[in-house]
Amino acid sequence: MKIDLHSHTTASDGQLTPTELMLRAANMQVDVLALTDHDTLGGIDEARAAIAEHDLKLTVIAGIEVSTLWQGFGIHIVGLNVDTNNAEFNHFVSEQKRIREERALRIGEKLERTGFHGVYEQAQAAAKDGEITRAHFGRALVQFHGLGSMAEAFKRFLGKGKAGDVKAQWPSIEMAVNAIQSAGGEAVLAHPLKYDLSTKWIRRLVSHFADVQGDAVEVAGPGVTGQKQLLIHEIVAEAGLKGSVGSDFHAPGRWTELGRFTRVLPNVSPIWQNWPLTSTL
């Protein structure tokens, strides 16, 4: 079974529309795909409609990637199987969007002062109707301001401690977990190896996530191989949490593809173990 529980569309910083993403997933023979855009449920209705319209053999999971702040680090919590009609959760999400927009304005101001004229408008234009993210600022810096790559844009201007870094008032991990679970969803700590944390701090983060009753941690994804793969499984098994998997797909490219990272090692239970999936597969 090909299962992928982390992906993005034009509702945030992905490059494919929800319809295009569903068609690509079906093409890649993915059986289950979670749509997890940054701080929005905006792509899910279109994704569901596309599956119905094109009669795709694909189960879409309603998800979201919630931005939080923990010990000064921006930590992402994926929510899976959330009730998209839950009023309280929709209120939580609209607050996330407000924080995101406010942060984008401040990033724009700081980058403007650094000499990147018009970068806020350019990032906003790149985001179109979707939620604006630092990825849109990265694209603007590459497209209009001579930066060589997204990696360079983040390394020099958008990353922690750089000129465009803004401390946003994101909620705590605990608040995100509670919001997701109150909407019937499961909370997953996203890409634990991508926060530039030492092993000691990754252990602290996972153990905090278990303390606040999180459900699972991503143990498979781009770059999670060899010793890193074993280490994260060991930490997650120790904390008694389940494992999730996901490509964090943003755009067709060489290094990421939908459904490529599906393996949870035997010492960790997959989050989908008790999901009612088997009847449709």
Nearer to ligand AMP, 255 or 266 (CB): 255
Pick the closer one to ligand AMP by CB: 92 or 239: 92
Tell the residue number behind the tokens 């924080």, with chain if given: 99
Least separation in angstroms between residue 279's CB and Mn ion is 29
Which of Mn ion, ligand AMP, none lies near 116, with the C-beta cut-off 5 to 8 A by kind? none
Chain positions contacting ligand AMP, by CB under 6 A: 13, 38, 67, 133-135, 138, 150-151, 154, 250
| Residue 68 binds which entry of Mn ion, ligand AMP, none, CB below 5-8 Å type-dependent | none
d(CA 209, CA 25): 30
Residue type, 157: F
Q: Strand 59-70 relative to strand 73-80: parallel, antiparallel, unpaired?
A: antiparallel
Shorter beta-carbon distance to Mn ion: residue 174 or 248:
248
CB of 68 to ligand AMP, least distance (A): 11
| Beta carbon of residue 178, minimum distance to ligand AMP (angstroms, whole number) | 21
The SS3 of residue 149 is coil
Look at residue 67 and give the partner it binds from Mn ion, ligand AMP, none, a contact being a CB closer than 5 to 8 Å depending on partner kind.
ligand AMP
Provide the minimum distance between the beta carbon of 46 and Mn ion in the complex, in angstroms, as a whole number. Answer: 18
Pairing mode, strands 186-189 and 242-245: unpaired
Segment 135-138 long-range contacts (CB within 8 Å, at least 24 positions apart)? 135/13, 135/250, 136/13, 137/104, 137/107, 137/108, 137/111, 137/164
- The 3-state DSSP class for residue 7 equals strand
Of the two residues 54 and 98, which places its CB atom closer to ligand AMP in the complex? 98
